[in-house]
Every structure is written in C-alpha cells, then in structure tokens.
C-alpha cells in the first residue's frame, strides 16, 4: 500500500544533465577538506534537494569511510552511481577532482616558475605557519572524535613513537593498527566505539531515494558484474602502466610516480593527512622529487584549492616532472603537467573501482558495515602519525638551520596566531590561510 502523501511531497526526478551540472558546481566549491565537503553534500543533496534520504546518505558514507582513498570523492561517486548508473558515478567522481587538478597545475607552474619573486615568496612565508597549525588541528579533531579510551590513546602514542623515533614506514603502522583493532574488536569490542560522523536531524521531508524506494536493476549485486568491474579496473591500471614501462623504462620518473602513487592510493586510510607522511617519505626522502619546503608549500596550495586534499599529489608530481626536466629543458611545463595527470589517474582509479565493485553489495545489505574496530584503530594510529607530521613541519619552520641555529620568530608567531584563530576563535581554514598570507606578504615586503 503506497502512501499518497509520499507522492505529493516527492521532489521531481533528476535528469542526468541536471545532476552533471550539480557535480560540476560541487567541484568548484568543495573547500574545507573531507568534513567540509561531506557537509556541503549533505546540505545540498539531503536537506535542500532531497535527492536521497538521511539514512541512505549515511549508509553510503559509512562504506566510503572504510575504504582507502578520499571519502568525500568516493561518496560523490557512490551517489552519482546510485542515481544514474555507472556514467553517473564516473561524472560525479571526475568532476569532483577535475577543477582542482587544472587549478593545481596552473598554481604549481606559477609557484615553480615565479616562486622567487618577492610577493610570491612573501605569501608562502605566511601560509606555511598556517599549514603547520592546520595539521595540528587535524590531529586534534580526529583525536577528539576517535580517542575515546586509553587503549586507543595507546595505539596513537605507539604510532607516533614508531614513526618519530624508529622511522617505521607508514604502511606497516596501518597494518599493525588494523591487526590490533581486529583482535581488540573480537576480545574487547566495547573498547572500540565506531568512529563515524554521527547522525543529524531526520526531518528533511520525503526524498527521491529513501528506505522504501524499490531497488533499481543496476544496484542489484551480481557476481558477473563484480568480476567485470575488477577486470576493467585492472585493464585501466595495467595498460597505462605497461605503456609507461615500455616507452620510458621502469626507472623513469613517470613510471616510478605511477607505481608509487598506486601504492599510496591503497594506503590512504583516515584521509589525506594520514597518507601525507607516506608521500613525504617517498617523494622527498626516497625519490627526491621535491624538497621539504616545497612539500609544505604544496600542502598550502592543496588547502587553498577545492577538491580532495590528496590532490596535493598533483603538485608533488608537477614539481618533480618540472625540476627533473623529464621531457627536456624546453618542455618544462609539459613535463610537469603530464606528471600531474599520470599521478592523478593512478591515485584516483582505485577509488572508482572500490565504489563500482562494492556499492551493489552495500546496497543489497542495507545494514551497517561492521568492520569498525580495525578502522577505529587505524584512525587512532593516524592521529599519532599526523602529530609527528605537524612537529616535523614546525621544526623545519621555526629552526630552519636546525636546533643549533636561531629561531625564526616571525614564523613561530604566525603559527601561534593561526593556532589561536583555528582552535579558540573557530575561524575557517580559508580565512586563516588568507590572513596569514597577508601577514607574510607584509613581513617580506616591508619588514624583512
């Protein structure tokens, strides 16, 4: 028996092109990291447009949180797929990152080609302390949500010591934390509360896709479809990788970037801040694609552009391709742009495969995903790793010549001002970065 009231309040069906325009707009306004991006999607899709209900939104979000990769971009892909099949998912996922990629290629070029110009240097001088404060805030916010028990505090502390004192690679820390979470979840499940985003009000009215919407054909789970997605995904990964290997050789920067960022894409549990130490270990220490200072500048650019923060990998690749003159001295911009596109492809391809492969199964169950204890433990470990990253940035910023040298007082003061703005006054990240950039510009232009 259908409810006549249900039909009366139902929003009009959404065409593929109307959805495409929405995803394009979202790609340009998705600032504020994953939490901000998820909040924007919730506000637009659940509250305002009522394309899907609260519980369907949270159901999709819980699955995306369990996956490695940028959860907000995966959530957009999931909702796009739910509404308009595979092409809907591809359009939603691609448009979420495309504006960010084009903008970052342009900004990376300005940075690397004109970075020694006084006003550009001044802006970055102010932004770097802001980024240090933002990374500390990320650790605090994740920690406040996750570290609900002394066991979880212990995992966070152990992860910090492992990376800070013993320089243990990030993947091993993730595996160790997941194992602890799995064992802890079996023996003492009460110690591992779910690290979700929490629920919100449910009074947004009837949605186009809710609990009572009959399942569409493309959301049905079929083994043949799962196999098809995995095969196509492997081909889309293997063919470009093989071409790079045959055309450039295995040791070439392009091939190594593709291989390194494939691994990074599979390790981004806990968001972009979690994988940054791994990217740092590889891109700066191992491959030397860019310097510690450039990595911080890249993170600042990533914070000021829309799209997932993990798009900082496009900056890393651009700088690596440009400074190593991969395509020769006369094609510097092309080398950087090609490197950025290659790395973006290999970083985000797994995200699409995870959604198209797993979403039908998740839709079929319509129950809570119950793999939360390992996720909670990984997120706790991530807190320790992010604190280490923040301290690392702080050290390079405040003592540029090492502890034996003088303290860089202006940077230290800007960091404290940024921290006060973020923690005490709750000012948005964009405003803090803008304010600090202005202070840096003033200091470099008129004071120093």
pLDDT digits (tens, 9 = 90+) for 319-357: 999 999 999 989 999 999 999 999 999 999 999 999 999
262-290 pLDDT, tens digit per residue, is: 998 887 665 666 778 888 889 999 999 99
Question: How does residue 35 score in pLDDT terms, banded at 50, 70 and 90?
Answer: low
Rounded Cα distance between 169 and 162, Å, is 9
Q: Rounded CA gap, 426 and 23, in Å? A: 28
pLDDT at 137: 85
- Cα distances from 416 to residues 271, 293, 345, 358, in angstroms, run 25, 19, 38, 44
Q: How far is CA 320 from the centre of its chain?
A: 20
Instruction: Of 34-43, 131-140, 281-290, 365-374, give the lowest mean pLDDT range.
Output: 365-374
Distance CA 347, CA 354 (A): 13
Backbone dihedral angles phi then psi of residue 258, each to the nearest 5 degrees: -60, -45
**In the prediction, which pLDDT does 105 show?**
95
Model pLDDT for residues 370-426, shown as the tens digit of each residue: 456 777 788 788 888 888 888 888 888 899 888 888 999 999 999 999 999 999 998
Higher pLDDT among residues 113 and 203, named by residue: 113
Q: What residues form DSSP beta bridges with 291?
A: none
Which sign does the torsion angle of CA 214, 217, 218, 220 carry? positive
118 pLDDT exceeds 70?
Answer: yes
Work out the pLDDT band at 439, boundaries 50, 70, 90.
very high
**Average pLDDT of the segment spanning 135-161:** 88
| pLDDT-based confidence at residue 56 (cuts at 50, 70, 90) | confident
- Find the mean pLDDT for residues 155-179: 88
- pLDDT category, 368, cuts 50, 70, 90? very low
Pairwise CA distance, residues 245 & 309, whole Å: 28
Between residues 213 and 336, the one the model is more confident about: 336
Listed residue (124, 117, 114) closest to 411, CA to CA: 124
The tokens for 173 are 């820390």
Residue 98 has pLDDT above 50, yes or no: yes
**Predicted confidence (pLDDT) at residue 176 exceeds the cutoff of 50:** yes
pTM score: 0.75
| Nearest partner of 200 among 367, 70, 39, 66, judged by Cα | 39
């Amino acid at each position: 028996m259908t409810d006549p009231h249900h039909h009366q309040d139902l929003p009009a069906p959404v065409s593929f092109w109307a959805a495409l325009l929405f995803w394009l707009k979202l790609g340009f306004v998705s600032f504020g990291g994953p939490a901000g991006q998820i909040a924007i999607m919730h506000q637009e899709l659940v509250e305002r447009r009522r394309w899907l209900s609260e519980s369907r939104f949270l159901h999709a979000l819980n699955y995306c949180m369990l996956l490695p990769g940028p959860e907000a971009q995966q959530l957009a892909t999931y909702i796009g797929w739910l509404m308009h099949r595979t092409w809907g998912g591809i359009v939603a996922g691609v448009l979420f990152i495309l504006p960010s990629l084009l903008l970052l290629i342009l900004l990376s070029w300005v940075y690397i080609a004109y970075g020694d110009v006084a006003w550009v240097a001044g802006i970055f001088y102010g932004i770097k302390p802001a980024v240090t404060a933002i990374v500390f805030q990320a650790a605090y916010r994740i920690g406040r949500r996750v570290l609900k028990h002394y066991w979880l505090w212990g995992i966070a502390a152990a992860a910090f010591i492992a990376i800070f004192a013993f320089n243990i690679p990030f993947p091993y820390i993730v595996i160790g934390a997941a194992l602890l979470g799995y064992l802890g979840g079996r023996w003492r499940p009460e110690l591992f509360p779910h690290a979700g985003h929490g629920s919100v009000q449910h009074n947004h009215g009837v949605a186009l896709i809710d609990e009572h919407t009959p399942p569409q054909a493309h959301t049905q789970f079929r083994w043949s479809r799962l196999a098809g997605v995995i095969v196509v995904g492997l081909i889309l990964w293997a063919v470009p990788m093989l071409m790079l290997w045959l055309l450039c050789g295995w040791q070439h920067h392009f091939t190594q970037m593709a291989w390194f960022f494939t691994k990074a894409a599979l390790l981004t549990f806990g968001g972009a801040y979690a994988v940054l130490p791994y990217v740092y270990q590889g891109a700066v220490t191992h491959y030397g694609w860019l310097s510690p200072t450039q990595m911080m500048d890249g993170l600042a650019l990533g914070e000021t552009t829309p799209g997932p923060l993990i798009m900082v990998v496009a900056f890393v690749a651009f700088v690596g391709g440009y400074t190593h003159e991969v395509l020769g001295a006369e094609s510097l911009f092309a080398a950087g742009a090609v490197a950025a596109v290659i790395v973006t492809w290999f970083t985000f391809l797994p995200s699409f495969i995870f959604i198209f492969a797993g979403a039908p199964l998740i839709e079929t169950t319509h129950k809570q995903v119950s793999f939360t204890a390992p996720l909670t433990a990984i997120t706790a470990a991530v807190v320790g790793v992010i604190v280490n990253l923040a301290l690392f940035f702080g050290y390079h910023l405040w003592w540029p010549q090492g502890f034996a040298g003088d303290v860089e007082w202006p940077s230290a003061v800007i960091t404290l001002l940024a921290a006060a703005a973020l923690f005490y006054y709750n000012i948005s990240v964009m405003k803090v970065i803008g304010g600090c950039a202005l202070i840096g510009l003033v200091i470099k232009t008129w004071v120093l």
